[in-house]
Amino acid sequence: MPATSFLDTAQGRRIAYHKSEGQGPCVVFLGGLKSDMEGTKAVHLEAWAKARGLAFLRFDYSGHGESSGTFEEGCIGDWHEDTLEAVAHLTEGGIVPVGSSMGGWQALLLARAVPERIKGMVTIAAAPDFTEDGYWANFSDAQKAELDTRGYVELPSDYMEPYHISKRMIEDGRARLVLRTPLFLPFKVRCLQGTADTAVTTETALRLMAHAVCPDMRLNLVKDADHRFSDEACLTMIEDAVQDVLGSA
């Protein structure tokens, strides 16, 4: 297996990545909250891209995987900076972001920051604005008070140890919401969403569809698929969605 490479960013962070050279727009995988670039979807899609001679990039946000920093110190804006740095220094020309969960929010932020670079987009259980609509909106008064006095709260996770959600993450996320102001996606977008997803609801997917201004945006709801969206059938759907987008890039 190729050794991990590292990018030193303008913000002083060290970002771990794997880059495969190839043709066409570079497929850039954007992982979810507390996920890393060794996840099933990222590794599978890399192998798929390599087999077709396509350029591909996967990386760890700061505080994730092999990159520098701790998760507890990070926020949406930090990971957006990491994404911008990775795209700027590790890719050339057009890109096709594939955003999973929080990575879907990152893909949408990327579309606002560098729309001229994006030739298409795929989202998998995209979670835009989740710090506001998922966390803050459901915090009890006691949790909000704890966030203010302690600086963080811990939330249970279905997949790993509790999430440490900081006051900084909430406040920074509030400054980066994408569903409250116009969201222009002037390229082909394919959205995948499982109906058994307990982390991101189908309502979120439908809200994104209704809100975005896009000439060609489709949502594929998959009955009984969960948030992982990584069994064989789901992985094939991801492949098909990326191929669909690349076909017009």
Residue 117 placed within a domain: yes
> pLDDT per residue over 29-46, tens digit each?
999 999 999 999 999 999
The span from the CA of 159 to the CA of 100, in Å, is 15
CATH number of residue 54's parent domain: 3.40.50.1820
pLDDT surpassing 90 at residue 246: yes
pLDDT surpassing 80 at residue 236: yes
> pLDDT per residue over 107-123, tens digit each?
999 999 999 999 999 99
Residue 146 placed within a domain: no
Residue 46 placed within a domain: yes
Residue 57 placed within a domain: yes
Residue 145 placed within a domain: no
> pLDDT per residue over 181-195, tens digit each?
999 999 999 999 999
Write down the pLDDT at residue 161.
Answer: 74
What is the domain count for the chain? 1
Write down the pLDDT at residue 249.
Answer: 63
Instruction: Provide the domain limits for residue 34.
Output: 5-128+181-246
pLDDT surpassing 70 at residue 243: yes
> pLDDT per residue over 197-235, tens digit each?
999 999 999 999 999 999 999 999 999 999 999 999 999
Mean pLDDT of the chain: 95
Write down the pLDDT at residue 163.
Answer: 81
The span from the CA of 83 to the CA of 86, in Å, is 5
Residue 143 placed within a domain: no
The mean per-residue pLDDT over the stretch 232-247 comes to: 97
The mean per-residue pLDDT over the stretch 146-165 comes to: 85
Residue 221 placed within a domain: yes
The pTM (predicted TM-score) of the whole model is 0.96
Write down the pLDDT at residue 155.
Answer: 85
Q: Do 16 and 67 form a contact (C-beta atoms < 8 A)?
A: yes
> pLDDT per residue over 62-118, tens digit each?
999 999 999 999 999 999 999 999 999 999 999 999 999 999 999 999 999 999 999
Residue 79 placed within a domain: yes
Per-residue pLDDT band at 157 (split at 50, 70, 90): confident
Per-residue pLDDT band at 156 (split at 50, 70, 90): confident
For a pLDDT cut of 70, what percent of the chain falls above it?
98
Q: Do 186 and 241 form a contact (C-beta atoms < 8 A)?
A: no
